[in-house]
Amino acid sequence: MSMEVPAYLDTGSPHNSTPTSPGFAVSRQAHLRPSSRPTTPVNNISLDPPVGVSFLEFLRTWNDQHVGRWLTDCKCGHHAQTFVNHDIRGDILLDLEQKTLRDMNISSVGDRIKILNGVKALRTNCTRTLVLSRTVVLPRNILAPRH
């Protein structure tokens, strides 16, 4: 009696794979483990706004992958799914505070501080780019004395 091995369990060995085969557990676990990663790796997500768009405008468009990347940068990427579950995206990030994070069951005080420091940095970045976008830059020759 010959037993076919499903493709996801095939270790490439000419012999049938069994639960005691070296590659069996790895292949099986890799296939059965649910993926909590977004379809786009967070490392490939840019948190820099496109040219001509203020940081605040760009932040308001952040999706789950952007927020996951930002959380990873804050050393709290393990909370990405919590943010997804609570519909926290770019348009909400600036409103986060201690109580909100506790309500989201983020129990680690250290993680809450890291996240809130990240929010503070986002606010600073929004303010800085807003000020810079309103600053008028004059050509040098306008300021030069006329003779």
pLDDT tens-digit profile of 11-45?
444 444 444 444 444 333 333 333 444 445 666 88
The phi, psi pair for 133, rounded to 5°, reads -70, -20
Query: Rounded CA gap, 31 and 144, in Å?
Result: 70
Q: Cβ(42)–Cβ(72) under 8 Å?
A: yes
pLDDT at 34: 39
Residue ranges per domain, the chain? 1-33, 42-134
> Per-residue pLDDT for 105 more than 80?
yes
User: Could you read off the pLDDT of 42-68 as tens digits, one per residue?
Assistant: 668 899 999 999 999 999 999 999 999
What is the fold of 42-134?
DNA polymerase; domain 1 (1.10.150)
Query: Rounded CA gap, 57 and 117, in Å?
Result: 20
pLDDT at 92: 95
Query: Rounded CA gap, 90 and 147, in Å?
Result: 53
Would the pTM of this model clear 0.75, i.e. be above it?
A: no
Query: Rounded CA gap, 136 and 8, in Å?
Result: 61
Q: Cβ(85)–Cβ(62) under 8 Å?
A: no
Query: Rounded CA gap, 70 and 62, in Å?
Result: 10
What one-character DSSP code corresponds to residue 5? P
pLDDT at 40: 54
**For the residues 108-136, what does the mean pLDDT come to?**
85
Query: Rounded CA gap, 64 and 66, in Å?
Result: 6
